Amino acid sequence: MSHAKPNGPSTLEIKNLKRDYTLRSGFKRNVLHAVSDVSFTLEPGRTIALVGESGSGKSTVARIISRLENATGGQVLLDGAPAPTRGRALERYRSKVQMVFQDPFASLNPFHTILHHVERPLRIHHPHLSSKQIKERAYELLERVQLTPASRYADRRPHELSGGQRQRVAIARALAPGATYIVADEPVSMLDVSIRLGVLNLLAELQRSEGLGVLYITHDLATARHFSDEIMVMYRGKIVERGEPDSVILNPQHEYTRTLLEAAADPDRLGQLRAEVRAEGITT
Amino acid sequence: MADNTTPEVPVRTGPTPTSTLATIRIAKNDRKRRPLPRISGKLLTGIIIVVVIALFGILAPFFVQDPRFSGNDALLPPGDGHILGTTKLGYDVFAQLAWGTRGSLFVGVVAGALALLLAILFGVLAGYFGGVVDEILTLLTNIMLVIPGLPLVMVIAAYVQNTEGLGPFARSSFLVAIVLGITGWAGSAVVLRATAKSLRMRDYVAASRVAGERPLRVIFVEILPNLVPLLAAQLIFGVIFAILGEAGLSYLGLGPTGSITLGTMLNDAQTGQAVGSQAWWWFIPPGALIALLGTGLSLINFAIDEIVNPKLRLAPQAARNQRKANREGRSVSENGAIA
Ligand SMILES: Nc1ncnc2c1ncn2[C@@H]1O[C@H](COP(=O)(O)OP(=O)(O)OP(=O)(O)O)[C@@H](O)[C@H]1O
Ligand SMILES: [Mg+2]
């Protein structure tokens, strides 16, 4: 693929990011600090994993980076310039920063064909291309994500594809603008265990060949370790630990990381866990 | 330590094969069902009624005598030459009925379309954009909603019709349609706002925004197509409201007296004391036609409701299944598991 890559070192810098939600219940107002003071830098060719329990603010970070939400504090800087919130500037930002959503069953429009989903971002971000060229590119992209032959999938609708195939379409859509940075918010958590690895390998392969900077958000420490160059552990809106995958996993410093690791599958425990679940399932 | 990295990988045989099979089956069903939803008896009946009446309104006026030709004898009962008799002024009732149907349909379609347009404007925009836009638009919608409909229409209709300088337009069915359209959108707007609000939160809407789609394109290309059944239902609702509203207005003498509609026919019959002189052929046909049209449109609306809200469709189906199962002696067992 011949997507133009920017010259010189490019960065996507997240600086002291903050997001508060005001919760109203009756006359009482509570402020929820979903994200407080998160900073890190994404670079092309590197994958950073963001792990943490449910509700720790991972998706909020993702949504702010992809400009679906505004931060209450801090900055997102693309090549040093603050991320815009509207208009052409935002469009240019989005041609560099894309997102893959968690649930491929929800992130594709049931009304439109697969081709539509890939063609639209191409058309928006490459307005100089002719319809024929756009279609060719769309087919190329579908083959890129291993939906081959593309013609078999192009005219189908999302509900006619499996979860893994849909997530591949979502990845193709994210690649279409020619993005340098991809935020993947739990890209495989909704998929069947047997096809997770295929999708993750595809992401890793694309990341290497296109030199993408990937923020890989996950619950799963094992895949985080396998697929990333750095792991950040998030807890209650803060990053409590970060570092080389091996050192974080093998030598966790923060107490929370340790509990996460304990909870995560170590094969013996997994068996034990399954037995527990079964026992519970029978009693209820 | 490589084994530590992939504890999730081994394929768990167990639930996987069955669930994949189920997915395939569902996908296949979907594929078959998608092009045309199953046509229910309700839908079919409704469509037949509406199509027949619409064809009558469109075609019949070409074949009847001038509905305002008063050379016939007055108050002839149905019979030779005048299938449905004549009115007090010697108009042919069948000719009036043909033109009246056309007039009523015209009012219904124009008013319904206008109401739908306004409902989309107020409802979908409010639901999608939220915030201040939502608050302003919702306020206007609520104001329209709490003002009682018919009195408002009467006031506006009376006012416009007495405005100087409108000429024959003041008494045209087009004007009445517009008045009905701008008073009849609020209910639909509320429904559309709620739906747009929930669709806005869908991932595919967020995804299309991330892909770079502009707000209006998101609304019209990504959201509205998924609302088509709902929009159709709202349109039909608007048409019913307008046809009945026009009949009501006309009966009160505020209708389009410059044109012929089913409502103005009733109004003529009333002022001409059709009931007193027992000229049933004068007021029963237009009344029956309005009722039929309303029924047909409502049937279509119910059918669409069932498509939008599958639970409604499944309810009678489930009842049928249960009866059948009972007959065959394999009813639902006590703990809820299907035998
Ligand atoms: N629109 C919102 N309004 C109020 N609170 C919100 C909103 N969105 C998220 N939150 C809260 O912010 C916190 C962080 O949510 P977030 O979705 O980022 O968690 P997460 O780490 O992605 O969790 P998961 O792993 O389950 O996806 C949660 O406590 C959530 O309830
Ligand atoms: Mg999340």
Provide φ and ψ at B31, rounded to 5°.
-65, -40
pLDDT at position B2, please? Answer: 41
A238 to chain B nearest CA, in Å? 25
Domain with B245 in it: what CATH number?
1.10.3720.10
Rounded Cα distance, A28 and B251, in Å: 54
CA-based torsion, A5, B203, A225, A248: positive or negative: positive
**Residue B83 CB burial class (10 angstroms; 0-12, 13-18, ≥19):** middle
8 Å CB contact of A192 and B16: yes
A193 to chain B nearest CA, in Å? 7
- Contact residues, B window 225-244, toward A, CB-based 8 Å cutoff: 225-226
- Contact residues, B window 155-184, toward A, CB-based 8 Å cutoff: none
In the chain, the amino acid numbered B179 is V
Q: Which residue's CA is minimally distant from atom 25 of ligand 1?
A: A54
CA-based torsion, A217, A223, A228, A231: positive or negative: positive
Task: For residue B120, give the DSSP letter.
Answer: I
8 Å CB contact of B5 and A226: yes
Rounded Cα distance, B226 and B229, in Å: 8
Best mutation target, B4, B199, B210, B224, to test chain A (most A CBs within 10 A) = B210
Q: What is the pLDDT of residues A153-167, one digit of tens each?
A: 999 989 889 999 999
pLDDT at position A217, please? Answer: 95
Q: Could you tell me if the CB of A59 is within 6 A of ligand 1?
A: yes
Rounded Cα distance, B101 and B62, in Å: 13
How many Å separate Cα A30 from the centre of its chain?
29
Task: For residue A100, give the DSSP letter.
Answer: E
Would an 8 Å CB–CB cutoff place B203 in contact with chain A?
yes
How many Å separate Cα A46 from the centre of its chain?
14
- Cβ contacts of B264 within 8 Å, gap of 6 or more: B100, B103, B250, B255, B256, B257
Q: Could you tell me if the CB of A68 is within 6 A of ligand 1?
A: no
Q: What is the pLDDT along chain A (284 residues), one digit of tens a residue?
A: 444 444 557 899 999 999 999 888 778 888 899 999 899 999 999 999 999 888 899 999 999 999 999 999 999 999 988 998 888 899 999 999 999 999 998 999 988 999 999 999 999 999 999 999 999 999 999 999 999 898 899 999 898 899 999 999 999 999 999 999 999 999 998 888 888 899 999 999 999 999 999 999 998 888 898 899 999 999 999 999 999 988 888 888 888 888 878 776 555 555 555 566 566 555 44
Say whether A218 sits in a helix, a strand or coil.
strand
Q: What is the number of the ligand 1 atom nearest to the C-alpha of A23? A: 4
- Nearest-Å Rg of the Cα atoms of chain A is 20
8 Å CB contact of A270 and B7: yes
| Structural domains in chain A, sorted by start | 44-70+91-263 (3.40.50.300)
For ligand 1, mutation pick of A17, A21, A72, A235 (most atoms within 8 Å of CB) = A21
Q: Which residue's CA is minimally distant from atom 10 of ligand 1?
A: A34
8 A C-beta contact, residue A18 and residue A32: no
8 Å CB contact of A109 and B27: no
Please tell me which of the candidates A107, A177, A197 has its beta carbon nearest to residue B207.
A107
Smallest Cα–Cα separation from A60: which of A236, A228, A254? Answer: A236
pLDDT at position B29, please? Answer: 45
Please tell me which of the candidates A66, A194, A226 has its beta carbon nearest to residue B16.
A194
Please tell me which of the candidates B12, B23, B203 has its beta carbon nearest to residue A106.
B203
- ipTM score assigned to the predicted complex: 0.85
Rounded Cα distance, A49 and A27, in Å: 40
Q: B-chain residues within 8 Å CB-CB of A220?
A: 8
Provide φ and ψ at A10, rounded to 5°.
-105, 150
pLDDT at position B336, please? Answer: 47
Rounded Cα distance, A179 and A124, in Å: 13
Q: Domain limits at B65? A: 38-318
Rounded Cα distance, B211 and A71, in Å: 20
Rounded Cα distance, A172 and A141, in Å: 6
Q: Which residue's CA is minimally distant from atom 16 of ligand 1?
A: A57
Best mutation target, A192, A196, A197, A220, to test chain B (most B CBs within 10 A) = A192
A157 to chain B nearest CA, in Å? 9
8 Å CB contact of B7 and A266: yes
8 Å CB contact of A101 and B4: no
Domain count across chain B: 1
Q: Could you tell me if the CB of A165 is within 6 A of ligand 1?
A: no
Smallest Cα–Cα separation from A49: which of A175, A184, A179? Answer: A184
8 Å CB contact of A266 and B12: no
Would an 8 Å CB–CB cutoff place A103 in contact with chain B?
yes
- Structural domain contains residue B264: yes
Q: Is A146 left (phi over 0), alpha (psi -120 to 50) or beta?
A: left
Q: Which residues in chain B show pLDDT less than 70?
A: 1-38, 308-314, 330-339
pLDDT at position B85, please? Answer: 82
pLDDT at position B302, please? Answer: 87
What tokens were used for B198? 């929930």
Ligand 1 centroid–CA A63 distance in Å is: 10
- Cβ contacts of A229 within 8 Å, gap of 6 or more: A46, A47, A48, A244, A245
- Structural domain contains residue B172: yes
DSSP assignments along A83-97, one per residue? PP-SHHHHHHHHHHE
- Structural domain contains residue B109: yes
Q: Which residue's CA is minimally distant from atom 5 of ligand 1?
A: A21
Q: Could you tell me if the CB of A54 is within 6 A of ligand 1?
A: yes
pLDDT at position B65, please? Answer: 84
Q: A-chain residues within 8 Å CB-CB of B226?
A: 109-111
Q: Which residue's CA is minimally distant from atom 19 of ligand 1?
A: A55
Residue in A closest to B4 by C-alpha: A222
B324 to chain A nearest CA, in Å? 32
pLDDT at position A265, please? Answer: 54
**Residue B59 CB burial class (10 angstroms; 0-12, 13-18, ≥19):** exposed
Long-range Cβ pairs for the range A134-141 (8 Å, 24+): A137/A176, A138/A172, A138/A176, A140/A1, A141/A172, A141/A175, A141/A176
Would an 8 Å CB–CB cutoff place A120 in contact with chain B?
yes
- Structural domain contains residue B108: yes
- Contact residues, A window 190-209, toward B, CB-based 8 Å cutoff: 192-194, 196-197
- Structural domain contains residue B33: no
